[in-house]
Amino acid sequence: MKMKNHLFFVAVLIAAVSCSTPDIHEVIIPCPTEIEVLSGQVSLDESPDPVAVIGENVMDSPEGYELTIDKDGIVIKAGSETGVFYAHQTLKQLRYAYSGRRMPAVHILDAPRFEYRGMHLDVSRHFQGVEFVKKQLEMFASLKLNVFHFHLTDGIGWRLQIDRYPELTDIGAWKPAGWKYGDPTDLFASADSLDAVGGFYTKDDIREILAFADSLHITVIPEIEMFGHSSEVLTIYPELKCKGKTVQESTHPVNEFCIGNEKTFEFLENVLTEVIDLFPSEYIHIGGDEASMRHWAACPLCQKRMKKEGLTDVKELQSYGIARIEKFVNGKGRQIIGWEEIAKGGIAPNAALMSWRGVEAGQQATSTGHKVVFCPEPYCYFDAYQDEPIKLPEAMTNYVSLENTYSFDPAEGDFEGKDLIWGVQANLWTERVEEASHAEMMYYPRTFALAEVAWSLRENMDYDNFRKRAIRLSDKAREDGYTVFDLRTETGPRPGSVDSIEHLAVGASVTYADDFHNSDQFEKKGILTDGKCGPWSHRYPGWDTFAGTDADVTVDLGSVLKIKNIETSFASYGVRYGYFPLEVKYEVSLDGVNFETLSVMNGTKAADEKRPDFEKFEWKGRTKARYIRVFAARDTAFATRPGIWGSGRLMLDEVIVR
């Protein structure tokens, strides 16, 4: 009897060990092009060092590789050192997954889908040191990412040593002690000020980063922002601002270089000369985004420039400036790349473009013969919340989950010039990302998803399978000292925001008490009864907003029905945008004229000062009604507080009736 028990225990143990051995298809990120399982098993712990053979390109790609692991050892074939390097990255993931275990013999053929596979880091808002950058480069390379977009300058800080203009870092790299994002951006301190916060990279720092990146087969593309987002430069060198009485009286700060001023181009060309001498990348990023252009329209020098060049619109003035910078950069043997706004008024002849507001600008650029990197906000902006906001550190108020990023396909749909899709990139802006650990958590695991989007064939991609691999790789990243968002605790999309909710009011007509919602400007008709709750972010469809007024809506069910439950939810975005109602009242009516009050509920939840939060109001009982009125009283004291955007908003989602 004891022998039987012993044998049973051994059988259970063997089964448990077998179950814990991962499937070869649930290990590698990004997933390879082809995985062929061979006969037999091997131990990577006991295998000899790999033999690497450099010859012909694998799968017609200089970055492709062939990896064979069997009883005879490990053999790598590739057309370049880069291909060999990527094979080693795959091998490292296999070693981690099968440490102490035997794995199936395997033959892998692999090559990237896109040439450009990038990650971006904004160090202008919040500075991160050399070691942090090198640490991220190491992770990026392990995922076969090959471009690092280094956002070095912006209105809040200048982070690169420029010998000709030492004030850029003596002053523009430092903020007064206690400065926080949201304080005036033109507050700067000198480097020797007591407790000044900030920092910058010396040219030796950059050389160290570049050498490290080169060893990882990563190209570093620097960004020097122009013509907007430049208040740090203009604070130090005010002579580069637009001039004119109307400009000075404007309520909007001057953040754009004066394109009518020759000194602007002298400054930018001097800076770019040093940047080009330092960075070996073929492309130099020149920004070009979000210039307001309002000051150019009022500036005498800009108007004089427009008249001289025969320009009729300030958008054309920006294009003039970009084209002039492109000519200078081309003269140095390099190319420019910029954000999609560089196409306003006509894109410069040889420029590449980054499409970030969506995919339309990128598709338009490919159709006119320009290379494009897609990095659209709904999928590739890692400054957004990746899960339920209230349980995460403060971020920008949109929502980009791991699954959102994974779902992005830059080649989806029919459009001209698909062969000019250069690649994809994710961007980490740091307005609200101050600490290194927070930055890492914003990168990972979403960077894993971006890597697979950039490298793997769509037909090989499956989110459920990927999520298992992402959890495994997250565990390894934590062991290696990275801060990673824990997918095991993920809430996922806000309940009711993805799958339709069945309830009595779906499709019912809604009337509003305020003029805006009854006007032709209101585009969200039916949003309160479409069967979907609002998502974690107000920036995506699902929320009905009430600006400067109470929320007062009446739902017509179409006939008298028995009712036992009414639910509504409101969103608050704290000091930035939106607030909870003071009071919510539900009323019902049989005829739409005479209403009976069912419930009056006080708002009890305090708005979180930094993160989006949500409050649900609910009535339960028994009644009959055709019409349901929801009235929510706004907090007028909150709505008029300094710093509230758009006079504040009440944000209401689905009126759920059961």
Where exactly does CATH 3.30.379.10 map onto the chain? 2-110
Cα separation values, 520 from 514, 516, 517, Å = 13, 8, 8
Strand 103-110 relative to strand 34-42: parallel, antiparallel, unpaired? antiparallel
Active site residue 186: no
pLDDT for 1: 47
**What's the rounded mean pLDDT across residues 262-279?**
98
Q: Rounded CA gap, 364 and 341, in Å?
A: 12
Q: Rounded CA gap, 178 and 191, in Å?
A: 15
In percent, how much of the chain has pLDDT > 70? 95
Say whether 79 sits in a helix, a strand or coil: coil
DSSP H or E segment with residue 213: helix 203-215
Q: In this structure, what token pair is assigned to residue 137?
A: 């480069």
Per-residue pLDDT of 14-72, as tens digits, reads 444 445 789 999 999 999 999 999 999 999 999 999 999 999 999 999 999 999 999 99
CATH architecture of the region 116-240+262-287+330-453:
Alpha-Beta Barrel (3.20)
Average pLDDT of the chain, as a whole number: 92
Q: In this structure, what token pair is assigned to residue 286?
A: 């020149």
Catalytic site residue from 45, 72, 290, 416: 290
Q: In this structure, what token pair is assigned to residue 632?
A: 């929510």
Per-residue pLDDT of 511-529, as tens digits, reads 999 988 988 888 888 999 9
* DSSP code of residue 637: H
CATH architecture of the region 2-110:
2-Layer Sandwich (3.30)
Per-residue pLDDT of 60-74, as tens digits, reads 999 999 999 999 999
Helices in 256-411 by DSSP H: which ranges? 262-278, 294-298, 300-309, 314-331, 360-367, 377-380, 402-406
Active site residue 214: no
Q: Rounded CA gap, 68 and 50, in Å?
A: 9
Catalytic site residue from 120, 151, 229, 295: 229
Q: Rounded CA gap, 425 and 355, in Å?
A: 10
Compute the half-sphere exposure of residue 590: CA atoms within 13 Å on the CB side of its CA. Answer: 3
* DSSP code of residue 487: G
Q: Rounded CA gap, 100 and 91, in Å?
A: 15
- Please, which pLDDT band fits residue 636 given cuts at 50, 70 and 90? confident
Residue 183, strand partner residues:
181
Where exactly does CATH 3.20.20.80 map onto the chain? 116-240+262-287+330-453
Helices 130-142 & 203-215 angle (0-180, nearest 10): 20
Q: In this structure, what token pair is assigned to residue 276?
A: 């080009």
Number of Cβ within 10 Å of residue 578's Cβ equals 28
Are 365 and 410 contacting, i.e. CB atoms less than 8 angstroms apart?
no
Where exactly does CATH 2.60.120.260 map onto the chain? 509-657
Q: Rounded CA gap, 450 and 460, in Å?
A: 15
Output the pTM of the full model: 0.93
CATH superfamily of 509-657: Galactose-binding domain-like (2.60.120.260)
Q: How far is CA 459 from the centre of its chain?
A: 24
Location of structure tokens 């040191």: 129
Are 51 and 75 contacting, i.e. CB atoms less than 8 angstroms apart?
yes
* DSSP code of residue 656: E
Are 169 and 161 contacting, i.e. CB atoms less than 8 angstroms apart?
yes
Active site residue 290: yes
Catalytic site residue from 154, 403, 544, 613: 154
Q: How far is CA 475 from the centre of its chain?
A: 23
pLDDT for 606: 78
